[in-house]
């Protein structure tokens, strides 16, 4: 089967840098995606890694290492509005999308 | 605004009933996905349609069914409802942006409460 693991909660202060890890066990997938979801809201796309390495999009960066079955989302210059849940997700070779359990990020003043 | 619309926004019904959730994808997107999110849980992939055809099936119960119509809107039918079916149901779409086919755009969701 396929499963993704994430820390359940992360806390950081405004202006800091935080890394949210995603480890996975899946036989094969096309790429690793990251989504943000505020309480009561819909998930919104943040970043996608099709290949190993770092992808940078503004304050957010995402990394993938297929050999280590590992990826992470890096958030820099944290703002209060970044307080949300963050999900990693893969589309496996069976075309199914599998989402991680989510990491709740709390940004403190 | 993602461009994906879902109706209704809220739905309250009783056990044993049947409901239909509706989704209109972003203009130009051919793929529609359905997800279930229970309280404080992750997103469970239910099913994907691509241009009217079922593309992938996830953890969808036999009591649930979906279809995508020629105008690309989709409906998720939930029948013989149980208390445990109470959840947020999200629809997402993708495909218009050829460079990032896996990028999904989520609708605002339908909150289903089964009493």
Residue position matching structure tokens 């950081």: A12
pLDDT for the residue A1: 57
Q: What is the pLDDT of residue A84?
A: 97
pLDDT score recorded for residue A97: 86
Judging contacts by C-beta atoms under 8 Å, the chain B residues touching residue A42 are 2, 90, 106-109
Q: How many angstroms from the chain centroid is the CA of residue A74?
A: 8
What pLDDT score does B99 carry? 63
pLDDT at A59: 95
Instruction: Give the span between the Cα atoms of A74 and A15, in whole angstroms.
Output: 13
- Cβ density class A24-45: b for 16+ within 10 Å, e for less: bebeebebbbbbbbeeeebbeb
H helix intervals, chain A: none
pLDDT class for B95, splitting at 50, 70, 90? confident
The verdict on a CB contact (< 8 Å) between B109 and A42 is yes
Inter-chain CB proximity B33 and A97 less than 8 Å: yes
What are the residues facing B112 on neighbouring strands? Answer: B11, B87
Statement: residue B42 has pLDDT above 90: no
> Any CB–CB contact under 8 A between B94 and chain A?
no
CB nearest to A100's CB, from B42, B58, B106: B42
* Interchain CB contact of B111 with A (< 8 Å): no
| β-bridge partners, A90 | A32, A98
Q: How far is B80 from chain A (nearest CA, A)?
A: 25
Cα B37 from Cα B43, distance rounded (Å) = 5
At B14, the pLDDT band (50, 70, 90 cuts) reads very high
**Mean pLDDT score, B15-39:** 95
Beta strand spans in B1-115 (E): 5-7, 10-13, 19-24, 31-37, 44-50, 53-57, 64-68, 74-78, 87-94, 105-106, 110-114
Q: What percent of chain B has pLDDT over 70?
A: 94
Distance CA B63, CA B43 (A): 19
- Using the Cβ of B110 and the Cβ atoms of chain A, whether some distance falls under 8 Å is answered with no
pLDDT exceeds cutoff 70 at B98: no
Tell me if chain A has a CB within 8 Å of the CB of B107: yes
Residues of B in contact with A94 (CB under 8 A): 56
For chain A of 109 residues, list the mean pLDDT of each consecutive stretch of 10.
88 97 85 93 92 92 92 97 96 83 96
Contact present, B109 and B8 (Cβ < 8 Å): no
Q: Does residue A73 contact residue A85 with C-beta atoms inside 8 Å?
A: no
- The encoded tokens of residue B94 equal 């993708």
For residue range B44-63, list pLDDT tens digits in order: 999 999 999 999 999 899 99
Using a CB-CB cut-off of 8 Å, the residues of chain A touching B33 are 97
């Amino acid at each position: 089967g396929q499963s993704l693991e994430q820390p359940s909660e992360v806390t950081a202060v405004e202006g800091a840098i935080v890394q949210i890890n995603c480890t996975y066990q899946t036989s094969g997938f096309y790429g690793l995606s990251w989504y943000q979801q505020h309480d009561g809201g819909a998930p919104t796309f943040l970043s996608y890694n099709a290949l190993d390495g770092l992808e940078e999009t503004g304050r957010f960066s995402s990394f993938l290492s297929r050999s280590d079955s590992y990826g992470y989302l890096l958030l820099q210059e944290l703002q209060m509005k970044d307080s949300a849940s963050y999900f990693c997700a893969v589309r496996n070779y069976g075309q199914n999308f599998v989402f991680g359990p989510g990491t709740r990020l709390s940004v403190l003043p | 605004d993602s461009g994906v619309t879902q109706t209704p926004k809220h739905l309250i019904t009783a056990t044993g009933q049947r409901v239909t959730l509706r989704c209109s994808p972003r203009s130009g997107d051919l793929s529609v996905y359905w997800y279930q999110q229970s309280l404080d849980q992750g997103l469970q992939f239910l099913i994907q349609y691509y241009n009217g055809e079922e593309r992938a099936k996830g953890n969808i119960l036999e009591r649930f069914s979906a279809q995508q119509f020629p105008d690309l809107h989709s409906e998720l039918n939930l029948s013989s409802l149980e208390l445990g079916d109470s959840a947020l149901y999200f629809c997402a779409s993708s495909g218009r942006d050829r460079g990032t086919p896996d990028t999904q755009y989520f609708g605002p969701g339908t909150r289903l409460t089964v009493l």
